[in-house]
């Protein structure tokens, strides 16, 4: 094989090599060639920058999941506010909620203080 053919073969195999689905002998062949061919090393570098279709699909999936989660959280807040506005009829109820929230914060603060005391 002349060098041009070897380069062509190496570049054809490169995506599979980068996905680690080539065999040991093939890997050795590619790696040997990469040590002596700057052009193919450049090809490899450029291909590594491009994510594989599987990785791209995964990234898109995660992105979609994240966006759905944000939407759901927003909807959750909207529902909570709607409940507060529509279903809470009295000032007393608001006050009770407020007190409950404050007492929870107090509990957290107390717990932190106790934890810190135990640390010392
Ligand atoms: Zn080459």
Phi, psi of 105 (to 5 degrees): -60, -40
Domain that holds residue 60: 52-87
Q: Does 72 lie in the same domain as 41?
A: no
Give me the DSSP letters along 31-83. Answer: HHHHHH-HHHHHHHHHHHHSPPHHHHHHHHHHHHHHHHHHHHHHHHHHHHHHI
CA of 35 to the centre of ligand 1 (A): 9
CA of 24 to the centre of ligand 1 (A): 19
As to burial, measured by CB atoms within 10 angstroms (0-12 exposed, 13-18 middle, 19+ buried), residue 17 is: buried
Q: How far, in Å, CA of 53 to CA of 59, rounded? A: 10
Q: Does 94 lie in the same domain as 83?
A: no
Residue 33 CB coordination number (10 Å): 18
The answer to whether 28 and 20 have CB atoms below 8 angstroms apart is: no
What's the structural domain count of the chain?
A: 3
Q: How far, in Å, CA of 28 to CA of 24, rounded? A: 6
- pLDDT reported for residue 40: 96
- pLDDT reported for residue 52: 64
Q: Does 33 lie in the same domain as 13?
A: yes
Q: Does 92 lie in the same domain as 76?
A: no
Q: Token pair for residue 63?
A: 């992105």
pLDDT in tens for each of the 120 residues of the chain? Answer: 899 999 999 999 998 999 899 999 999 999 999 999 999 999 999 888 766 667 777 777 888 888 888 877 777 777 777 766 666 666 677 677 777 777 777 777 777 887 888 876
- pLDDT reported for residue 38: 96
CA of 26 to the centre of ligand 1 (A): 14
Q: Does 59 lie in the same domain as 43?
A: no
Q: Does 61 lie in the same domain as 33?
A: no
CA of 47 to the centre of ligand 1 (A): 14
- pLDDT reported for residue 30: 96
Q: Token pair for residue 16?
A: 């599979």
Note residues around ion ligand 1 (Cβ under 5 angstroms): 7, 37, 40
Q: Does 61 lie in the same domain as 35?
A: no
């Amino acid at each position: 094989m002349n060098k041009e053919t070897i380069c062509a073969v190496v570049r054809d195999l490169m995506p599979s090599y980068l996905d680690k689905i080539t065999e040991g002998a093939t890997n050795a062949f590619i790696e040997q060639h990469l040590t002596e061919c700057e052009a193919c090393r450049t090809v490899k570098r450029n291909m590594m920058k491009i994510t594989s279709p599987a990785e791209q699909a995964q990234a898109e999936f995660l992105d979609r999941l994240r966006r759905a989660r944000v939407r759901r959280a927003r909807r959750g807040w909207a529902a909570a506010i709607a409940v507060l506005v529509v279903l809470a009829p009295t000032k007393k109820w608001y006050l009770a909620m407020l007190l409950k929230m404050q007492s929870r914060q107090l509990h957290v603060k107390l717990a932190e203080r106790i934890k810190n005391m135990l640390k010392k």
